[in-house]
Amino acid sequence: MSSLLEAKGLYGGYGGADILQGTHLRVESDEIVVIVGPNGAGKSTAMKAVFGLLRIREGEVRYRGEAITNAKPEQMVRHGIAYVPQEKNVFPSLTVRENLEMGAYLMKGDLSQRLDKVYTLFPKLAERRRQQAGLMSGGERQMVAMGRALMIDPQLLMLDEPTAGLSPLLIDETFERIKEINAQGIGVLMVEQNAKQALAIASRGYVLATGSNRHEDTGPNLLADPEVAEMFLGG
């Protein structure tokens, strides 16, 4: 049985020198996998590379055993992989509902079931469905962004710093939602700055530094590791 997602020996970057230096990642369907590490470690770059947003020069990405290295984002979506960028992750002039519809652009048939599913997870979005996304608060926009990604009924959800810029209360709330999403059988791969909280809900974590893997362990073990704690978690 092959992994949901497996990336091996990734080298690549934005055209200049390689930022990724042999990064590897693995996600199973029942896992929440967190990538932590210092600024500039290549965490977001690794996510983008996996999703086909920048060119992988060397290495391989497999999804359920099938090679998807450097596939286009459109094909990723068709495979059932959804990606939420860190910033600018909503369509500001579109309403909440239109944002969600755009998430399911490639999906055929009636959207109402998909919409209901997202509205059940984020009841606030149902209330605000006619509001322009650009006029919402940061926390609400993050819900719209995640909701948009969930519209394809993904197998794998990739989140780039889903709690960036949110208040502590909203951070807790966001992690709760992520756990609920994962409980539905959706594998989650996320990059997080709030490393402690993220590792606390993580099945496994990767510590990335200068584009390569430094540590890999279960969430609790990484949290308990004094070296990791000193390096990345602020003691």
Partner 1 sequence: MTDILQLLIYGLVLGSVLTMGAIGVSMIFGILRFAHFAHGDFMTLGAYLGLSFISAFGLSSWWALPAAMVGMGVIAVFIDQVLYRRIRRTQPVILLIASFGMALILRSLVQLIWGSDNQTYASGIQFPWQLDWLGGMRLKPDHLWIMLISLALVAGVHLFLTRTRLGKAMRAMSDNMDLALVSGIPAERVIMVTWVIGGALAAAAGVFLGIDTRLHPVMGWTTLLPVFAAAILGGIGRPYGAIAGGMIIGVSMEMSTLLIPAAYKPAVAFAIMVGMLILRPQGIFKGTV
Residues that bind partner 1 (CB under 8 A): 51, 53, 73-74, 76-78, 83, 85, 88-94, 98, 101-103, 105-106, 148, 152
Measured from the CB atom, the residue of 107 and 233 that comes closer to partner 1 is 107
Minimum Å distance from CB 199 to partner 1? 26
Measured from the CB atom, the residue of 141 and 204 that comes closer to partner 1 is 141
In 3-state terms, what secondary structure has residue 216? Answer: strand
Minimum Å distance from CB 34 to partner 1? 20
Minimum Å distance from CB 73 to partner 1? 5
Measured from the CB atom, the residue of 40 and 73 that comes closer to partner 1 is 73
**161, 191 Cβ separation under 8 angstroms:** yes
Measured from the CB atom, the residue of 42 and 103 that comes closer to partner 1 is 103
In 3-state terms, what secondary structure has residue 126? Answer: helix
Helix (H) / strand (E) element for 67: namely: strand 66-67
Minimum Å distance from CB 110 to partner 1? 13
Measured from the CB atom, the residue of 107 and 126 that comes closer to partner 1 is 107
**49, 24 Cβ separation under 8 angstroms:** no
Minimum Å distance from CB 208 to partner 1? 21
103-140 b/e (C-beta count within 10 Å ≥ 16 → b): bbeeeeeebeebbeebbebbeebeebeeebbeebeebb
Q: At what angle do helices 168-183 and 138-150 cross, to 10 degrees?
A: 10
**156, 4 Cβ separation under 8 angstroms:** yes
